[in-house]
Structure 1
Amino acid sequence: MSITKLGMASIIALTAAAPAFAQSAEAIAATDLNIRSGPGPQYEILGVIPAGQSTAVDGCLAEASWCKVVFDGKTGWSSADYLAVGVQDQAVALSTRPATVEVNSVTYENTAKTQADQNAGAAAGATIGALAAYAVGGPIGGIVAGGILGGAAGSAAVEPTTETITYVTTNPVETVYLDGEVAVGAVVPQNVTTYEVPQDGLRYATINGQAVVVDTQTNAIVQVIR
């Protein structure tokens, strides 16, 4: 399985630039991170911030773990659980609201709300659980550098084959909405139905509009199919 990790050079650069983050409101994506059209898993995906890349942060919602970001000419919303900032020589999730990092509080209003937005919002409002973000609640730097989920996902012995990926993409299943963002290493709740693939050790599901392959032992996402 291929899991993108922040190299030591990236972590050193991140921690060394900690004072600048407070002034320029920048963060680094701890994993390949979706940019969505609104602050929630039900919104359309506009792009992806590659793992280890920095992005400008215009501000974050006070009541939810979503931040407004600008990356590669795209403006949208990303999960603060996977946006890393430097605090006391560690990379921590922006969702922890570190006191040493100044980030504006912003609000969100969809002035062009469509019926599709309303339907998706209603579906997402009926979530049956939450993805367990590997980054939230503690230092990101050590987790990402040392192995996602303390090695649980990083030690998965099975890597999705081309046949498996093709099977998943050609056999779509109904999406399930969960609180949180789809990302490699995030743990899927046990009550979410997953489906067989032609490969031992893996199953798949569609979560928050994206097909994912999960490890059968840990229920951690090992690949997001984009």
Structure 2
Amino acid sequence: MNFSTLGKIGMASVIALTAAVPAFAQTGEAIAATDLNIRSGPGPKYEVVGVIPGGQAAALEGCLSEASWCKINFEGKTGWSSSDYLAVSVEEQAVALSTRPATVEVNSVTYEDAAQTQSDQNAGAAAGATIGALAAYAVGGPIGGIIAGGIVGGAAGSAAVEPTTETVTYVTTNPVETVYLDGEVVVGATVPDNVTTYEVPQEGLRYVTINGQTVVVGAQTNAIVQVIR
């Protein structure tokens, strides 16, 4: 399935998630729409400390009121995940926590780790400011795109060209400097055109390191097809 098709059917197919997503806002849980990073703090420069597999539910402790990050607990691991890719049920439709209506009540939390905040700021200053933002990978937002891909929690927005073992090996043995973008690194998100990507031996693919994670992208679409973990 190509990305244009994914975008066209994303809005209509979001209804398919209704049966899979209970009223998480009422139970204190949210479902990861795709393999989703758990970070040590609420932002893309913080260290990745775990992953919520796509389709799995995490306990929702609350969300920041001023940013699209929520504090979660998944199998004993506490951290922060992007609310753009955490789904709740609203009027029998799945929506991202970041776009929930005011009628959906979620606890507000704050981030108070001053030492980690300073460390993050120092890292950001050393790396330079973000140079753009990762774009959601389907019309209608991340949740619609995941369901349009035919699954909850799998490789939504999968590309026509899949990275081979040789490509993954090449990428891991040829590291490149990281760039920082607003938003989370997930399969299907689109990398801005002003970000330099690098060749791999496999035709149709390139790679780049974003927010500390190396990703393989489609050469024509700049959409992430695999996150190298």
Alpha-carbon distance, 1:39 to partner: 0.3
Contact 1:43 1:120 in 2 (8 A): no
2:20 corresponds to which letter in structure 1? Answer: A
Q: Distance in 2 between matches of 1:195 and 1:136?
A: 27
1:143 corresponds to which letter in structure 2? Answer: G
1:221 corresponds to which letter in structure 2? Answer: I
Q: Secondary structure at 2:87's aligned position in 1?
A: strand
Alpha-carbon distance, 1:145 to partner: 1.7
CA offset digits 1:144-184 (Å, max 9, x no partner): 12129xxxx73622100000000000000000000000000
Of the candidates 111, 118, 121, which is equivalent to residue 121 of structure 2?
A: 118
Moved more, 76-85 or 120-129: 120-129
Greater RCO, CA 8 A, separation 6+:
2
CA offset digits 1:176-221 (Å, max 9, x no partner): 0000000000000000000000000000000000000000111100
Q: Which residue of 1 aligns with 2:7?
A: none
CA offset digits 1:85-140 (Å, max 9, x no partner): 11122111100132332101111122333874332232566000000023796472
Contact 1:10 1:52 in 2 (8 A): no
Q: Which residue of 2 aligns with 1:4?
A: none
Question: Between Structure 1 and Structure 2, how many residues are aligned?
Answer: 213
Q: Distance in 1 between matches of 2:118 and 2:98?
A: 30
Gaps of 5+ in 2: 2-14, 151-155
1:85 corresponds to which letter in structure 2? Answer: V
Q: Which residue of 1 aligns with 2:145?
A: 143
> Aligned ranges for residues 60-209 of structure 1 at < 5 Å?
60-113=63-116, 116-123=119-126, 126-134=129-137, 138=141, 140=143, 142-147=144-149, 154=157, 156-209=159-212
RMSD: 2.6
Q: Distance in 2 between matches of 1:125 and 1:101?
A: 37
> Aligned ranges for residues 27-46 of structure 1 at < 5 Å?
27-46=30-49
What percent of counterpart residues are identical?
80
Following TM superposition, the consecutive aligned residue runs of length 4 or more in structure 1 with deviations greater than 6 angstroms are none
2:182 corresponds to which letter in structure 1? Answer: D
Question: 2:54 aligned with 1:54, yes or no?
Answer: no
2:67 corresponds to which letter in structure 1? Answer: A
Give the TM-score normalised by the residue count of structure 1.
Answer: 0.86
Give the TM-score normalised by the residue count of structure 2.
Answer: 0.84
Q: Secondary structure at 1:31's aligned position in 2?
A: coil
Q: Which residue of 1 aligns with 2:8?
A: none
CA offset digits 1:41-71 (Å, max 9, x no partner): 1001110000000011111111110000000
Gaps of 5+ in 1: 2-7
